[in-house]
Amino acid sequence: MSVISQSVPFVDLSAQYASIKDDVNAAMARVLSQSNFILGKEVNQFEEAFAGYCDTDFAVGVDSGTSALEIALLALDIGPGDEVITAANTFIATVLAISYCGATPVLVDADPVTYNLDPNLVEAAITPRTKAIIPVHLYGQPADMGAMMTLAERHNLWLIEDASQAHGSRFEGQRVGSMGHLGVFSLYPAKNLGAYGDAGIIVTKDEALAHKIRLLRNYGSTVKYHHDIRGFNRRLDTLHAAVLNVKLRHLDRWNACRRAVAAQYDDLLQDSPLITPAVADQVEPVYHLYVVRHPDRDGLQQFLREAAISTGIHYPVPIHLQPAYADLGHKEGDFPVTEKLAGEILSLPMYPELPTAAIQRTVATISDFFK
C-alpha cells in the first residue's frame, strides 16, 4: 500500500458529500432553477426544522457563527460599558463578537477536567457591569449549564450559548441552544452541521428576541424598504439553507458515528500515556473534536505527521496571549489551565466516516511513538 493510500486526513468533507450527493445536488438544482437566492423558502424551512431539532421555538439563519454571536449580543442591547464573561479557552470568534459590539470581554479559565468554563471562576468574575455570560460547549461537550443557568438567574444576566461545536449535544437531556436565552451555532463547513460555505444560526424560545434578530440580519427590515432599526446584511443564503435541509436529517446519525469513533479511540488508548477526553455526568457529547493531552505534544504531532496522519491543535495560543487582545492587559500565568492545555492538547482525526482502519493506524502510530 502506498503512503498516500494510508494517509489519514484530520477531516474529510468529501466523504460526507459522496454519501448525500444526489440529495444535495437535487436541492441545489431546485434553488438554481427557482433563482430565489435571498431569503427563499428553503431558509424558512431550515429555520423551522432547526428550531424544532433544538427544542426551541424560533431560529434565524445568518451568514456565519461570528455574525450570529454579534447579532445575539446586539439583540440584547449589549454595548459599550458592558462586560460579557466568556471562556479564555475558546476559538477567538466568541471574544471578537463581544468586542465588535463595543462591550468588554471578561475571560475566565477552564475546568481542568472538562476544559469548559469553570462556574466558580465565572461567579468570581461577575461585576455590576456584567450583562451576559457566553458559555462555549467546547469540542462538542456541553458546559455546566446547570451552574450557568443558576448564576444567570441569581445575577440577572443574559445567557448566550456558543454551541458552534456542539450541534445536537445534550445537557441533562436538553439540547444545547435551548437552555440559554439565545443559542448560537456556526454552520461553517467542518462543524458537526456545516453548510458549503460560511453560515450560522441563532435559536431562542423568545419571540420578541427572534423578531429583533430577524430585523438585525436584514437591514432592520421585514417589509422591503421599511426600516425599523439600523440592521445589517447578514442573511443565510438560500443555497446554503437547501444544503442544510438535506444535512440536518443525517445529523443525529453522524453524531452517533462520532461517538462511536470516540469510543474506539477511548478503548484503544486506554493503556497509552495520553490523557483522553473526560465526559461530565449528565451530558451527551457530539465530539466535534477528539482532544488528547501529553506534555510532548509537539513531538507526537511531528511523529504522526511523518506517518501521514493529520492532527490539529485547538487552540495553540490562548486569547489573552494573542496580540489582538494585548489591550486586555493580561500576562502569562493569568489563566493557568488554558495555558497548560494550549501546550499539551492534540486533536486526533475525527469525522463521522473515519474508517476503523484509520483509527487503528493512528493508535498504532501513537504506540510506536511511546516505545
Ligand X SMILES: *Cc1c(COP(=O)(O)O)cnc(C)c1O
Per-residue b or e along 56-82, where b marks 16 or more CB atoms closer than 10 Å to that residue's CB: bebbbbbbbbbbbbbbbbbbbebeeeb
Least distance to ligand X, CB of residue 288, Å = 8
Strand blocks (E) in the chain: 58-62, 83-87, 104-108, 130-134, 158-162, 170-171, 174-175, 182-186, 200-204, 283-284, 290-293, 345-348
90 binds ligand X (CB under 6 A): yes
Question: Are 94 and 64 within 8 A, CB to CB?
Answer: no
Q: Quick one: which of 46, 50, 58, 91 contacts ligand X (CB under 6 A)?
A: 91
**Closer residue to ligand X, CB minimum distance, 93 or 358:** 93
Nearer residue to ligand X within complex by CB, 162 or 339: 162
- Select from 168, 183, 200, 349 the one that contacts ligand X (CB under 6 A): 200
The number of beta carbons lying within 10 Å of the beta carbon of residue 40 is: 18
**Binding flag, residue 116, ligand X (CB under 6 A):** no
Helix %, strand %, coil % for the chain, to 5?
A: 45, 15, 40
Report the alpha-carbon distance of residue 352 to residue 283 in Å, rounded. Answer: 19
Looking at 58, 158, 171, 188, which residue binds ligand X (CB under 6 A)? Answer: 188
Binder among 56, 66, 89, 338 for ligand X (CB under 6 A)? 66
Grid cell in block for residue 228? 425599523
Helix axes 238-248, 13-34, angle to 10 degrees: 130
Tell the smallest beta-carbon distance from residue 185 to ligand X (Å). 8
Please pick, from the candidates 16, 89, 94, 204, the single residue that binds ligand X as defined by CB under 6 A.
Answer: 94
Is 65 near ligand X (CB under 6 A)? yes
- Position among 162, 237, 284, 344 found at the interface with ligand X (CB under 6 A): 162
In angstroms, what is the minimal distance from the CB of 237 to ligand X?
Answer: 13
Q: Which residue's beta carbon is nearest to the bound ligand X? A: 65
Minimal distance, residue 333 CB to ligand X, in Å: 24
Which range, of 37-45, 90-98, 264-272, 342-350, touches ligand X by CB under 6 A? Answer: 90-98
Identity of the residue numbered 143: A
Q: How far is the CB of 90 from ligand X (least distance, A)?
A: 5
CA separation for the pair 112, 169 (Å, rounded):
21
Q: Per CB under 6 A, does 164 bind ligand X?
A: yes
CB of 98 to ligand X, least distance (A): 11
Q: How far is the CB of 281 from ligand X (least distance, A)?
A: 23
Q: Are 351 and 16 in contact (CB under 8 A)?
A: yes
- Side chain identity at 317, as an amino acid letter? V
Residues 6 or more apart from 99 whose CB is under 8 A from it? 105
Q: Among residues 8, 24, 43, 93, which is the contact residue for ligand X, using CB under 6 A?
A: 93
- Footprint of ligand X on this chain (CB under 6 A)? 64-66, 90-91, 93-94, 136, 162, 164-165, 186, 188, 198, 200
